[in-house]
Amino acid sequence: MKVEFWFEFASTYSYPAAMRIEALAANRGVQVVWRPFLLGPIFQQQGWNDSPFNIYEAKGRYMWRDMERICESQNLPLRRPSKFPRNGLLAARIVCAHSEEPWVPEFVRSVYRANFANDAEISSPEIVEQCLTQAGQDAATLLTTAQTQTAKEKLKAQTTEAMERGIFGAPSFTVGRELFWGNDRLEDALAWALR
Amino acid sequence: MKVEFWFEFASTYSYPAAMRIEALAANRGVQVVWRPFLLGPIFQQQGWNDSPFNIYEAKGRYMWRDMERICESQNLPLRRPSKFPRNGLLAARIVCAHSEEPWVPEFVRSVYRANFANDAEISSPEIVEQCLTQAGQDAATLLTTAQTQTAKEKLKAQTTEAMERGIFGAPSFTVGRELFWGNDRLEDALAWALR
């Protein structure tokens, strides 16, 4: 019984999902597979060269207010990033190359906190380094591995797989072939894993 | 304490919301204001001349599967309409002209059932007549009123108001200036009304 958690570090609604999925899944005895991917290529296929929250103004305004309510209810700090969306490529490559290692969930949360609670530039190696250190890792080695061709191609392949699985936004959750989209579907996805 | 329920008869996710809102609100002692509007002009402003579920294929595929799961969990019949989206203009004008009358909720549900459970053409006066009769009303009179200039302008004004309130999709719920979007935010909107 496992849930695959498809997330993008730039994605606002992925933040509350990333912060609660591990505890929620553990409570129910469900395993989480951490699956970072890039929304950029998926949005481009839909004809967007920016976040739909920037392109569609009313939708964007609503999303930020909705995020405030969600973060308040989950007791999560939220500071609206001065830049949105931020490029999470480097962090995503690191997770993708090491996704089954036990420090990954803490690193993922640390990157989300940097982006959405601390307004830090998560595309910069310095910030990613801090996040790796917070997760107890040797940052220098991991940053080097992240730049290898293998790491790059692994993330590319994972993004292609996301598309092939019908994923069009983040966060998404898959249980076998069953797809759930959005932070507010996390409980449904976990319940599906237990059927 | 009241919740304004903004819905569009063509909108899939408005169907499960319309079927449960009255009972849910009554349980909590919240009043429902029924506010039909048209998504067409709002989508046009965003550059769409069709439902985004038709324009964005992966999103559409997901939505229909998601609707199956939701309707199953609410014990609602669902037959995917052979035409989507259907034009709910006539039904919306009728509701708009009589929104505070006690038969309106039953009429609304009857139109949604026609569209999403019976695959009936809700733009046709015959089907709307059947729905009015099911709600215990004199269909002939109401169909005539719906064609008056007043009824037309009332629905236009309500659609403009929806836009001005930042509404970009259906169903939406407002409590004062607070906006909630989506069937899965209904409980949050009701809780907000009780704050």
Model confidence pLDDT, tens digit, residues B17-67? 999 999 999 999 999 999 999 999 999 998 999 999 999 999 999 999 999
What is the total residue count of chain B? 195
CB of A184 within 8 Å of a chain B CB? The answer is yes
Tokens representing B190?
Answer: 């009701």
Q: Using a CB–CB cutoff of 8 Å, tell me whether B186 touches chain A.
A: no
CB contacts of A56 in chain B (<8 Å) are: 46, 168
Position B32 scores a pLDDT of 98
The CATH number assigned to the domain holding A132 equals 3.40.30.10
Cβ contact (<8 Å) for A168 and B56?
yes
**Cα A41 to chain centroid, rounded:** 15
CB-CB: which of A58, A62, A179 is closest to B62?
A: A179
Residue-wise pLDDT for B135-181, tens only, equals 999 999 999 999 999 999 999 999 999 999 999 999 999 999 999 99
Domain that holds residue B86: 2-193
C-alpha span between B22 and B26 (Å, rounded):
6
CB contact under 8 Å between B179 and A62, yes or no, is yes
Q: Which residues from A are below 8 Å from B46, CB to CB?
A: 56
Contact A141, A101 (CB under 8 A): no
Roughly how many angstroms between the first and final C-alpha of chain A, as a whole number?
9
B61 to A166: CB separation less than 8 angstroms, yes or no = yes
Q: Starting from the edge strand earliest in sequence, which strands make up the sheet with B2-7, in order?
A: B31-36, B2-7, B172-175, B178-181
CB atoms within 10 A of CB B86: 22
Domain total of chain A: 1
The 3-state DSSP composition of chain A as helix, strand, coil percent (nearest 5) reads: 55, 10, 35
Decide if B33 contacts B3 (C-beta within 8 A).
yes
Contacting residues for B170 by C-beta, under 8 A, at least 6 apart: B6, B7, B8, B11, B13, B14, B37, B39
pLDDT at A33: 98
Which of B:14-73 have CB within 8 Å of A? 46, 56, 58-59, 61-62, 65-66, 69
Q: Is the ipTM of this complex over 0.85?
A: yes
